[in-house]
Structure 1
Amino acid sequence: MKISGVDIRPGNIIEYEGGIWKAVKIQHTQPGKGGAYMQVEMKNLIDGRKNNVRFRSAETVERIRLDTKDFQFLFRDGDALTFMDKDNYEQITLDAGILGDAAEFLQDGMDVVMELYDERPISVELPSQIEATIVEADAVVKGQTASSSYKPAILDNGVRVMVPPHIGAGTKIVVDVYERTYVKRAD
C-alpha cells in the first residue's frame, strides 16, 4: 500500500531502497523557504542499520504489513535463541541480536509474537511487562526523602533497575521490558 512520505508514523514498516525499514522517530518540519518535509529516523529490520531520511509530501513509499505468528521461547544457547511455533510445533533458531536489549528478559516458556516478512523472521515482540525477582538491592540511605529516592537493584536475570526504597531482595516485582523500569510489586 503506497503512502505519502509525510504520512509515515513511528512503528510503520516501509520498503525503502530495496530494504525493509521501521520508522523509529519522525519530525515534521516546515522551513520558512521551500516545502514541508518529514524527517524520519529508520532502522533496517534485516541488518540493523539506521538511517535518517527526508521525505517530501510528493514522495510515496510502500508501506508493508508483516505477518504475525505466536511463538514460545524454549531456550538460549550462547547467542542462539530457540523458539517454537505454537501452531505446528516447528522450532526456529535466531540470533539474540534480533531482540536487542530485550533478550535479557526472555524466560523459558514465554509466549512471544514474531513478525515475518515472506516467511522470514524480522522481529520478536516480548510482553511489555514481566515478573522478576530481586536478588540484590542496595540498602536505603537514611535521610533521603521518600518522594524521589529510588535505589539500584539487580534482578534474577542480571538486569539492573531502580526500585523504591521499601523493596528488598527476594521481592517479586513487575518490570517494563522496553523501558527497563519498575512498575509495581507483583501480587
Structure 2
Amino acid sequence: MNLITDPWPWYISGPLIALVMFLLLFVGKQFGMSSNLRTACAAIGAGNKADFFKFDWKAERWNLTVVLGAIIGGFVAAHFMSNNVVEINPEIASQLANDYGITSAGKSYLPPELFATEVLTNPFNIAILFIGGLLVGFGARYAGGCTSGHAISGLSNLQLPSLIAVIGFFIGGLFMIHFLYPLIF
C-alpha cells in the first residue's frame, strides 16, 4: 500500500480523526463545516444582511483555518496524493454507463460528465446546483449543523440530537438517490 496515492485504510484514518476530535474536545471546540462557513460569512459582513451572522466571529476565527485547511488539503490530496483512479465494481460501472451515460467510472475521481466546465454551461445543471445548495444550506441550518458536525463531533459527544440528525441525513440521502434522482435525471 502506498500511503501517498492510495486511500488510507480505516486503521490509519480512523485514529487520526479520533485524535483530532479528542484535541478539539480538550480545548472546548466542536468541528463542523457549516459553523466554519458561518464564521467566514460573518467575517465578510453577512451580519449586515441577516441576524444569523451577527455574532463575534473573531472569537471563532479558528474556524477560518479549518476552511482554509480543507481547501488546501483538498488541493494537495487531489493533485499530489492521488493516482486519480477509483476502483469501482464492474457492474456499477456498467450501470453508470448504461443508465446515466457516465463512461469514465473507474477512470477518475471527478467524472467529466458531471464535473467538467462544459457541464456548467447547461442552465438545467446550474438550476440543480442552485436548488441543491439551497436545500443543503437550509437542511444544515434546520438540523443545527451539517453532516460532518453531527456525524463526527455530535456522535463523538454522544448527543442524541446528532444521532437523530445523522439518521435523518441517511434516510434523506437514500430517498433522494432511489426516488427523486431517477425523476430528475
- Length-normalised TM-score, structure 2: 0.23
When you count strand as a share of all residues, which structure comes out higher? Answer: 1
- Length-normalised TM-score, structure 1: 0.23
Higher relative contact order (CA 8 A, sep 6+): 2
When you count helix as a share of all residues, which structure comes out higher? Answer: 2
